Amino acid sequence: MPPDATATKKRLLKAAHNEFAQFGLAGARVDRIAEAAQANKRLIYVHFGNKNDLFDLVVANSLADLAKAVPFTAEDLPGYAGNLFDYLLDHPQVLRLTGWAQLERPDASPAQVDAYRPKIEAISSAQQQDIVTRTVTPADVLALLLGLTTAWACASPALRSLADQPPWDPERLQIHRAAMIAAVQALTTLPPSTSQNKNTVKAGHAAHR
């Protein structure tokens, strides 16, 4: 009976996920991936192409798993931020992979752009329904939300060492999480911009002339 190619591919992908998360694209070694997967190195090229292609696939799969586990909810961005924070806390390799990807694969692929597009459209729709403030563009809303959600995980070790409790203490993480959600809430419900306020005042003055 021939070997199960599907099982081999799964082992290779799991081994590649761990290897790339730890060492990045440049530092990863195909030999180590094959050894960890108990597979012939040649099968990596047969199933996935070159190392760059395998890295891109691993990152894409990791983000797809995240999107499936944490559905995007433009109508409840603070809730989404909290769920995303929890997922990334339980799956720290996701941020390591995306960090390596930004450093070593800085040009956005069409697939990566397409992954963000529905989120941007959903935020825009929520803005039209006055669920999310219109004073910040959808792309900025999402960028700021992601920045707030990953702030502690991406903070420097020096800064984390100055926390009043151990950096990853569950109690302090919950306090940080609550503050992060409050910040996202404030971001998405910002009052009208100064220029809009001025226009409203002008309109009011004109109405009383």
User: Would you give the distance in Å from CA 35 to the centre of its chain?
Assistant: 30
For residues 143 and 137, the answer to whether their CB atoms sit within 8 Å is: no
Domain spanning 70-106+120-191, CATH architecture = Orthogonal Bundle (1.10)
Per-residue pLDDT of the chain (209 residues; tens, 9 = 90+): 345 578 999 999 999 999 999 999 999 999 999 999 999 999 999 999 999 999 999 999 999 999 999 999 999 999 999 999 999 999 999 999 999 999 999 888 888 888 899 999 999 999 999 999 999 999 999 999 999 999 999 999 999 999 999 999 999 999 999 999 999 999 999 776 544 444 444 444 454 44
CA distance readout (Å), 195 to 124, 192, 199:
21, 8, 6
Sequence spans of domains, the chain: 1-65, 70-106+120-191
Domain spanning 1-65, CATH architecture = Orthogonal Bundle (1.10)
pTM of the model: 0.85
